[in-house]
Structure 1
Amino acid sequence: MLKTPVYIYILFFASLLSSSAQIPEPDWNKQSGIRGCDFYTDILEDANKGYTVCGAVKIKGNSFDFELIRFTENGDTLWTKTIGTEKKEIPKRLTQLTDKSYVLMGSCTEGETQSCLLLKLDENGNEIWKKELSAEYTSVEDIISLSDNHFALAGSKSETPNDPKIWMATLDENGEFIMEKLFMTDMTGCARSIKEIPNGDFALAAQISEAGKNNCDIIAIRISPLGQAKWFSWIKTPDQKVWPACICCSPDSALMIVGWNGKCLNDINSADPIFDYDLVLNKINSSGEILWTKSVDREGSEGGNALTIRPDGTFIIAGIKATSFIGKIGPWLLNIDPDGNELNEKLLRLRFNNDHASRIINSSDGGFVVIGPGMQEEENTRSDGWIVKFRAL
């Protein structure tokens, strides 16, 4: 009797998994085409159908205004709202509350002073209220909607410029604080991403380091609805600069974190450390145990900005690939299985320098939507916001 080696079966089933988890082709794509510089930073599938995107448009010099754009399910523009003040505004994140209103979160700068700006808009993009958090909130990085038209913020809070602390808060429909908390106050840190877990807890992914150090680590924190930390999961990376960009709940009740890992090529404590950046992935179980940490380290630099869980249980990461020696540069999608193994990838068209796939969300028809280029430098003279809708397999 002929015996087939076990490894042949393993390879066979691995190939089936890989072939069944292809990244589909786009249904449609749109580019703003605005003369000058604009960019998109966040997207949601709107409760009124279609998609809503937040971004910024340059108005004069290096000054930007917020921009909110509503697209139909087919990518046609329904309306665009430009919202500005006398200050310079940079958008970061967008959420939609249970009454279908929006809360747009970003920063506003006047001279050397930067603060967080919150804008609440009705479902047609008309302003309901505007609030500027005090300058002691040195960074607000993420926002999520909660029940009862409430929402949560995550970032850092500091009384001194160079010693931020990991911070989160919940606010009511009028933008008034319900609860705010600081974590690991003996360290310097900033929460980069927040999610609400199905049982009502919160999960934070934060960057953390000793004050004045160039190296930093990732820390995940599980927090009760009342703001009490249930556990801390510290992912240490000595002599490296590592930070999360997105935290996501996986079907097995674990947490997935995607971000950037900077490996120092010279002395990390020097005045000018040089880093080679790679995409970093972490999986943590519901008790805070680190299950695995993986890095995508190829020729050049790679990075992950966001991830989403697909209906087949795999993940798609949105980021950037810069494999400069062989010309593979541009917005990048990477498909991985629940154990972090690479299945396939897709390089999107590079439109201009620093063009990232900055956010990715699932769509209700089984597909997904990606936007870019993400936040751009003030000195950029040319960039376009873009959106690509991928069909379901």
Structure 2
Amino acid sequence: MFTKRLYIALLVSLCSSFAWSQSDQAFVYWQKSVGAQGEDVLNDMVKDDENNFYVVGSTQTAGSQSMDILVSKYSNGGRELWTRTIGESGDDRGVAVEFQNNTLYVLASSTSKTGIFSANVGREDLYLIQMNPSGTITSNTHFGGNKADLPTDLAIAANGDVLISLHSTSTEGDFDLNKGQSDMWVMRTTAHGDLLWKYNYGGSDEDFTTKIAELPTGEIVFSGHSSSFDGDMMLNYGDFDLSLFKLNANGAILWEQNYGGLQAEISVDLLIDESEHIFLTGNTQSLSFDISKNAGFSDAWVLEIDPANGSILWEETHGSEYSDYASALSLNEAGELFLVGTTNAPVFYGEVSAGNKDTWLARIDSPESIEHLTLFGGEGYESISKFSLEADGSMIVVGSSNSQENLFSDNNGMSDGWLFRFDTKAFNNHSEDAVSAHPNPSTGIVYLNHLSTKDEVVVIDLSGNIVIEAFVPTAFSQVLDLTHVSPGVYLVQIQRAEGSELIRLVKN
């Protein structure tokens, strides 16, 4: 048994303020704080055929009053391969990204008067940027009206065409029709960005898009929220309702449905599985009409929709008596549906929050059944824009965080883009896993996982010298800082009541 010490010779960053579920614990593979000294956020990600992944968002350098588009490529192990920033004098933001036929498609918006590549037409225009896997811009296409045209999502059709959703207040230029205060628009271009068609949808009030996707049949669905009660909108229950359109391949409406209650519902994400099931998520403040339950001010709301006519097959809320919001949906390879969101509740499904706004993960096991899995975050706020469930049971997330302690100690500014890969026991039923270290080899930061608060840990070199004094873990995952340790091979010894474990650790 190691002698317990009251001091630590070399800095060991402990994750005591990073909250995890006690029953469904998680461990960290790696995490990145992405950005400059200002406000930074990651909005979307996509993987390529070689398991590298690309993230897009916006970044703000120190002293700047405007944002630039941020595009980065990472290896599957979290190593940054390249980063590109694109922007002019105004706010330029990366909104969405797709990868197809060795081409990266980036959807972006710009308020720069000079535009990113050409002069803006109105207050805010949209750009479709194409890049090769090395980050070189190969082409760009620019669309705009006389006012604000805000892109929200893109999808690549089976034939290689590009589908874009946006909303616009323009009445001239590329978006010269408007049925109300703000209209939904869908555009279809060739793979090279040449316009095939564009149509607006909506009523006399405010109509906004969020996501777009292609069904296996070639038909198109897009989601949003609307306060209109006329025009293309079948009805309105009150305030904003979730809205879902199904179009044919040429943009003609096949059906439209609104979902909601007397209060506001805001659309967040749309997902279609291989069997053509449509899943919709958003946030609701209602307890009426389509919403059967509401625990507090705002709840996350998930619906499965019949693709034939848009009717609700089932719906379920997830939340507390505080404000809880859905962020994104994803499927794993087994076809299980997962939902992430945020909460400002001090205790969420029995778990104590670490900060002002934490992120939660839930699994939808069956219709009308959402199982809460885990809560995680730092002392500030965290939000997730997109997440991917990997074949090994791990989860890669992108979003933003302004936390600056422990796991988030490398935060660069006011808020950073957050890129994070972790695994959770909720994806399997292993009870006593061996302690693991990631990454290994490492250039400095190592995550020890599957620890117990009854363990004692020490790091020694191959000569038997203690490099990090013995310490008792305070969390399931601990951050080990070997930045100031010389390159070489080290041993991490974990002493447990039932015996000891050794991990061979390589510092590059």
Q: Indicate the TM-score class for this superposition, using the shorter chain for normalisation.
A: 0.7 to 0.9
Matches within 5 A, 1:278-357: 278-287=299-308, 288-324=310-346, 328=353, 329-350=357-378, 352-353=380-381, 355-357=382-384
Structure 1: how far apart are the matches of 2:214 and 2:266? 20
Matches within 5 A, 1:132-151: 132-136=142-146, 138-151=149-162
* SS of residue matched to 1:356: strand
Contact 2:167 2:209 in 1 (8 A): yes
Q: Can you list the C-alpha shifts for 1:280-319, whole angstroms capped at 9, x where unaligned?
A: 1111112222122322231211111210122343311122
Structure 2: how far apart are the matches of 1:182 and 1:35? 39
Q: Can you list the C-alpha shifts for 1:152-184, whole angstroms capped at 9, x where unaligned?
A: 101223435961122111111232211212224
Residue 114 (str. 1) matches residue 124 (str. 2) = yes
Which shows bigger deviation, 103-112 or 122-131?
103-112
Structure 2: how far apart are the matches of 1:280 and 1:249? 16
Contact 2:56 2:96 in 1 (8 A): yes
Contact 2:213 2:222 in 1 (8 A): yes
Shift of 1:210: 2.5
Residue 215 (str. 1) matches residue 239 (str. 2) = yes
Structure 1's 130 and 108: CA in aligned 2 closer, same or farther, altered over 3 A? same
Structure 2: how far apart are the matches of 1:320 and 1:342? 15
Structure 1's 298 and 205: CA in aligned 2 closer, same or farther, altered over 3 A? same
Out of 102, 105, 127, the residue aligned to residue 103 of structure 1 is 105
Shift of 1:233: 2.1
- Partner amino acid for 2:268? A
* Structure 1 match to 2:84: 81
Residue 234 (str. 1) matches residue 234 (str. 2) = no
Q: Can you list the C-alpha shifts for 1:221-265, whole angstroms capped at 9, x where unaligned?
A: 111112122222221322x1112111111455321111122359x
Structure 1's 374 and 32: CA in aligned 2 closer, same or farther, altered over 3 A? closer
Contact 1:45 1:363 in 2 (8 A): no
Instruction: Give the structure with the larger strand fraction.
Output: 1
Structure 1's 371 and 262: CA in aligned 2 closer, same or farther, altered over 3 A? same
Which shows bigger deviation, 155-164 or 73-82?
155-164
* Structure 2 match to 1:128: 138
- Partner amino acid for 2:207? G
Structure 1: how far apart are the matches of 2:401 and 2:299? 18
Superposed structure 1 runs of 4+ greater than 4 Å apart: 21-24
Shift of 1:193: 0.7
* Structure 1 match to 2:461: none
| TM-score with structure 2 setting the length | 0.64
Shift of 1:351: 5.7
Identity of aligned residues (%): 18
* SS of residue matched to 1:373: strand
Which shows bigger deviation, 151-160 or 24-33?
24-33
* SS of residue matched to 1:62: coil
- Partner amino acid for 2:161? H
* SS of residue matched to 2:276: coil
Instruction: Give the structure with the larger helix fraction.
Output: 1
Out of 199, 214, 228, the residue aligned to residue 196 of structure 1 is 214
- Partner amino acid for 2:140? K
* Structure 2 match to 1:12: none
Contact 2:44 2:95 in 1 (8 A): yes
Q: Can you list the C-alpha shifts for 1:346-379, whole angstroms capped at 9, x where unaligned?
A: 21223633x202211233555431111289xxxx
Shift of 1:76: 0.9
* Structure 1 match to 2:397: 370
Structure 2: how far apart are the matches of 1:311 and 1:389? 17
Shift of 1:215: 1.1
Residue 389 (str. 1) matches residue 404 (str. 2) = no
Residue 157 (str. 1) matches residue 185 (str. 2) = no
Structure 2: how far apart are the matches of 1:36 and 1:158? 29
Shift of 1:146: 2.2
Structure 1's 127 and 252: CA in aligned 2 closer, same or farther, altered over 3 A? closer
Residue 42 (str. 1) matches residue 44 (str. 2) = yes
- Partner amino acid for 1:97? Q
Structure 1's 47 and 311: CA in aligned 2 closer, same or farther, altered over 3 A? closer
Q: Can you list the C-alpha shifts for 1:132-156, whole angstroms capped at 9, x where unaligned?
A: 3213562211111224542110122
Contact 2:36 2:60 in 1 (8 A): no
Which shows bigger deviation, 356-365 or 26-35?
26-35
Structure 2: how far apart are the matches of 1:374 and 1:177? 37
Shift of 1:381: 6.1
Q: Provide structure 1 residue ranges, at least 5 long, that are not aligned to the other structure.
A: 1-20, 265-274
Structure 1: how far apart are the matches of 2:183 and 2:192? 25
* Structure 2 match to 1:4: none
Structure 1's 344 and 236: CA in aligned 2 closer, same or farther, altered over 3 A? closer
Structure 2: how far apart are the matches of 1:217 and 1:281? 14
- Partner amino acid for 1:389? R
Residue 179 (str. 1) matches residue 181 (str. 2) = no
Q: Can you list the C-alpha shifts for 1:308-357, whole angstroms capped at 9, x where unaligned?
A: 1223433111221210478523122122223141223221223633x202
Calculate the aligned-residue CA RMSD, in Å.
3.0
Out of 267, 271, 281, the residue aligned to residue 258 of structure 1 is 281
Structure 1's 68 and 181: CA in aligned 2 closer, same or farther, altered over 3 A? same
